[in-house]
Amino acid sequence: MHSVDVAIIGTGSVGIAVAYYLVRDHGVRRVALVDPLPPMSLTSAQSGENYRNWWPHRVMTAFTDHSIDLMEQLDEASGGRVNMTRGGYALVTRREQPQDLIDALHLGYADSPGQIRLRYLENGYVEPRRMPWQGSPSGVDVLLDRALIRRTFPAFAEDIATVIHIRRAGSISAQQMGSLMLEAIREAGGTLIRGEVKSITGRTPFTLEIATPDSASTSILHADRIVNAAGPGLQDIATMLDEDLQVECVFQQKIAFTDTLQAVARHQPFAIDLDGQTLPWTEEDRALLASDPATRRLTEPMKGGIHCRPDGPVEGNWIKLGWAYNETPSDPHQPAPIDTQFPDSLIRAASRLQPKLAAYIGRLPRAMRHYGGFYTQTAENWPLIGPMATPGAFVAGALSGYGSMGACASGSLCAAWVVDQPVPAFARGLAPARRQDTALMAELAGLAKGTL
């Protein structure tokens, strides 16, 4: 039996970041991280490790900008261990002058006007390069000229009419970031406890009953404050406190393989096809898929958001693709609902934007990796960071498909909430108490949910 100032439940990217900022910024040393699994091994191990500051709302832009600032600090201070690159995000559509998308950019970047550059000509446009973040362009280039798009992105299909190139975006190594934070936590005296929190009783101090990973025995931990950073287990912890966080878990998948045919240019930014589509099946396949209720939807119009990027070093040949089209929540305690049809559907869909990928239809390499994890999310797809209803309990989670890029800001904001220090104005919109703000909730209900 022992006691700590703060117990953090969950050693994914988010829980680790909360502990890191508690020890680094607030000198809290008696911190324990509790998890039955090795650090960074659940959802955080499945991340595509992409980041961007593009959101259709200024609060989320401020949140990710804050997180990117913190990641850059970590990267710089560690001599580049976070491995941040900044090739950008290329959002692609066949629509000419898509005013709704341009309006959404203005909404998202409302606090830093002048960042959006509409480009009909090449002048001043810095071509995409997977480069270090230092000295890279920021803001957004909206390419509206087909000739310019063809020259810049020759691998894209010829019907592409607009490319929105988000510049403060790229990739990180979330695993490296987690390890370097863990080193600092351990150095400062923080501890890791291997076990699953089974019950929480008492209040400040809380009494946590912790079962060893094999459930052979339990131990007790007392903590003045607790942080719920349990990822897909967020609601389990909330239930122990008689609270409902209103989150759901939706399984999403990715594939990665060696692009031996060089279908994807190594300097290409993370490219997202925004347009919905109906997948091109043969008549025979279509009839077969339509006859099974589990696969019928693959024959119907599907949502956009198919994404693809080169992975690893520029001189390598791995590529990663994903498509968060699943919208059906599932129980995270049950086996992962991995969809064996997913790689084939995805490569067909992705070849609409990058026609050379069609060569892999029916021929995906045997060594392909097909993996997935849960997007733990709220209805409005904003995270929950801040005090729970129970005094002394805090939450940092529901980071959906953006928890690697959002981990640092989640950690620093949650740490400030825990020690009762001021938080920036935007952080109030991310706290569970936002649900009492009917005007904000009505505004969010009107926003389209992200597709990534």
Ligand X SMILES: Cc1cc2nc3c(=O)[nH]c(=O)nc-3n(C[C@H](O)[C@H](O)[C@H](O)COP(=O)(O)OP(=O)(O)OC[C@H]3O[C@@H](n4cnc5c(N)ncnc54)[C@H](O)[C@@H]3O)c2cc1C
Written as six digits, the tokens of 20 are 């890191």
To the nearest whole angstrom, how small is the minimum distance from the Cβ of residue 15 to ligand X?
Answer: 5
CA nearest neighbour of 41 among 227, 224, 179, 238: 179
Of the pair 152, 410, the CB lying nearest ligand X is at 410
CA nearest neighbour of 406 among 369, 452, 449, 347: 452
CA nearest neighbour of 40 among 62, 11, 63: 11
Q: How far apart are CA 339 and CA 356, in angstroms?
A: 24
Q: Which of 170, 233, 304, 305 binds ligand X (CB under 6 A)?
A: 233
Q: Give strand ranges (E) for 244-368.
A: 248-258, 270-273, 306-311, 318-322
Residues 95-134 that bind ligand X (CB under 6 A): none
CA nearest neighbour of 11 among 32, 27, 25, 28: 32
Rule CB under 6 A: say whether 178 interacts with ligand X: no
CA nearest neighbour of 63 among 400, 325, 394: 400
Q: What are phi and psi of 286, to 5 degrees?
A: -60, -45
Rule CB under 6 A: say whether 254 interacts with ligand X: yes
Rule CB under 6 A: say whether 236 interacts with ligand X: yes
Q: Which of 88, 305, 397, 450 binds ligand X (CB under 6 A)?
A: 397
Of the pair 87, 401, the CB lying nearest ligand X is at 401
Rule CB under 6 A: say whether 8 interacts with ligand X: no
Residues 186-225 that bind ligand X (CB under 6 A): 196-197
Kindly indicate which of the ranges 37-45, 95-103, 179-187, 281-289 contains the residues binding ligand X, using the contact rule CB under 6 A: 37-45
CA nearest neighbour of 238 among 388, 376, 43, 107: 388
Residue whose structure tokens are 């958001």: 305
Helix or strand or coil: residue 164? strand
Rule CB under 6 A: say whether 272 interacts with ligand X: no
To the nearest whole angstrom, how small is the minimum distance from the Cβ of residue 200 to ligand X?
Answer: 10
Rounded to the nearest 5 degrees, what angle is found at the Cα of 307, between the Cα atoms of 305 and 309?
165
Of the pair 120, 371, the CB lying nearest ligand X is at 371
Rule CB under 6 A: say whether 401 interacts with ligand X: yes
To the nearest whole angstrom, how small is the minimum distance from the Cβ of residue 331 to ligand X?
Answer: 13
Rule CB under 6 A: say whether 179 interacts with ligand X: no
Q: Please, which residues have CB within 8 angstroms of residue 436's CB and are 6 or more apart in sequence?
A: none
Q: Which of 304, 403, 429, 432 binds ligand X (CB under 6 A)?
A: 403
Size of the site for ligand X (CB under 6 A): 42
Rule CB under 6 A: say whether 332 interacts with ligand X: no
Q: Give strand ranges (E) for 108-161.
A: 116-119, 140-143
Rule CB under 6 A: say whether 235 interacts with ligand X: no
For residues 434 and 44, the answer to whether their CB atoms sit within 8 Å is no
Rule CB under 6 A: say whether 173 interacts with ligand X: no
Q: Which of 136, 345, 404, 412 binds ligand X (CB under 6 A)?
A: 404
| Site track 338-377 with ligand X (rule: CB under 6 A), x = hit | ----------------------------------xx-x--
To the nearest whole angstrom, how small is the minimum distance from the Cβ of residue 442 to ligand X?
Answer: 26
To the nearest whole angstrom, how small is the minimum distance from the Cβ of residue 248 to ligand X?
Answer: 14
Q: How far apart are CA 181 and CA 196, in angstroms?
A: 22
Q: Angle 13-26/174-187 helices, nearest 10 degrees?
A: 40
CA atoms within 13 A on the CB side of 272: 21
Single-letter residue type at 216: A
Q: Which of 230, 298, 346, 357 binds ligand X (CB under 6 A)?
A: 230
Q: Where are the alpha helices (DSSP H) in 163-310?
A: 174-187, 234-240, 283-291
Q: How far apart are CA 349 and CA 273, in angstroms?
A: 9
To the nearest whole angstrom, how small is the minimum distance from the Cβ of residue 44 to ligand X?
Answer: 3
Q: Which of 18, 23, 34, 59 binds ligand X (CB under 6 A)?
A: 34
Rule CB under 6 A: say whether 65 interacts with ligand X: no
Residues 42-61 that bind ligand X (CB under 6 A): 42-44, 46-51
Residue whose structure tokens are 């809290």: 28
Rule CB under 6 A: say whether 9 interacts with ligand X: yes
Applying CB under 6 A, which residues contact ligand X? 9-15, 34-37, 42-44, 46-51, 196-197, 229-233, 236-237, 252, 254, 372-373, 375, 397, 399-405
